[in-house]
Structure 1
Amino acid sequence: MAEDELSALLKGADPAMIVVTAAADGERAGCLVGFHAQSSITPPRYCVWLSKANHTYRIGLRSTHFGLHFLDADDHATAKAFGSLTGDETDKFAGRTVLAGPGDVPLLADVPHRLVGRRLCVLDDGGDHVCFTLEPVAASTSGPFTPLRQSQARDITPGHDNTERPAPPTERAGAPV
């Protein structure tokens, strides 16, 4: 397969960016995500794919609920904070108003377009991201919005590179093996 063609095809899709949040055992996490999609109409299901290198992935393995924050085109600063910093070293929620959602998932008060989902299953097909299938339990919006697209976030350098995924995947990225 020609990876250049695949890359060009997927780049053209220009997905909307979201911030995914999770919490477990008193620890909270969040990251910028471009891999997400509705996966069923009846019953409603939504999937989000998290990088194995991310702190949010490790917290997500123990979380019962996830917060999906659909970013507006004006939310670049939020995207940068949750995409360029690593939760291994930084509290990404510091200085933000955070609400407690179902399952104690942290919700960003300044991002009104949200979906909260209860984790149903996890699929690890061996790639660098893992799929979490969610059952929507709450949704809110302040009305129509223009989503922040991946093309508008290309200037954000990720806090972890996808090659940093640890082995086994439940260990912290960059930790000695």
Structure 2
Amino acid sequence: MVAVDGFTDLLDYPMYVVTAAAADGGAPAGCLVGFASQCALKPPRFVVWLSRANHTYRVARDAAFLGVHLIGRDQHQLAQLFGGECGERVDKFADVRWEARTGGTPVLLDSCAWWVGRIERHADWGDHVGFHLTPVEAGADPPPHGELLRLSDVTDLSPGHPA
């Protein structure tokens, strides 16, 4: 296997909180995600990759929509909650402000920007599954670009599940 660590160590991409409503009406789920990207302009499309080991993945695979949120550097506690806790053991939504939007998708009201996307398809890419999304609803109160939470801001977090 070719080592690309020298390349990937240079990346400092934004971190996202991805949320999903349980299809069975159960508790919502959400996790901190680093693997995400816009993938088309017309129509606008986006992909988020969720780890198969993640509780949010198990909820999302039966959902029709996902919420995608940007959070600020000053929201490290929110990143710790969604990235360092497991939704099977902790109700991540108990102490955060959120509301159900399209398809019941949980939207974090204190995020800098958010959108809800309809899941068009899934794609298996090894230990992560890509969720191809078409935006259907959005909201934003963005800070300056440099103030978004980035990978370098969360290197101190321990994941809520094995990688």
Q: Deviations over 1:97-156 (max 9, x none)?
A: 21111010011111131011010000013x111000000011211134321110110000
Q: Deviations over 1:13-71 (max 9, x none)?
A: 11100100001211210000000000000011000000000110000011111111111
Matched, 1:139 2:138: yes
Per the alignment, residue 10 of structure 2 pairs with 12
Q: Where does 1:70-89 land on structure 2 (aligned, <5 Å)?
A: 70-89=70-89
Matched, 1:94 2:101: no
Matched, 1:152 2:153: yes
Which letter does structure 2 place at the counterpart of 1:155?
Answer: D
Per the alignment, residue 127 of structure 2 pairs with 128
CA deviation after TM superposition for structure 1 residue 73, in Å: 1.3
Which letter does structure 2 place at the counterpart of 1:22?
Answer: A
Equivalent residues of 2:112, 2:143 under 8 A apart: no
CA distance in 2, matches of 1:85, 1:29: 11
TM-score by length of 2: 0.93
> What SS is found at the alignment partner of 2:37?
strand
> What SS is found at the alignment partner of 1:75?
helix
Q: Which runs of 4+ in 1 moved over 4 A?
A: none
CA distance in 2, matches of 1:9, 1:87: 32
Per the alignment, residue 103 of structure 2 pairs with 103
CA deviation after TM superposition for structure 1 residue 2, in Å: 3.6
* More displaced stretch, 32-41 vs 86-95: 86-95
Q: 1:151 to 1:143 in 2, by over 3 A?
A: closer
CA distance in 2, matches of 1:138, 1:75: 23
CA distance in 2, matches of 1:52, 1:75: 26
- Report % sequence identity: 44
TM-score by length of 1: 0.86
Equivalent residues of 2:118, 2:134 under 8 A apart: yes
Per the alignment, residue 23 of structure 1 pairs with 21
Unaligned runs of 5+ in 2: none
CA distance in 2, matches of 1:11, 1:86: 26
Per the alignment, residue 43 of structure 1 pairs with 43
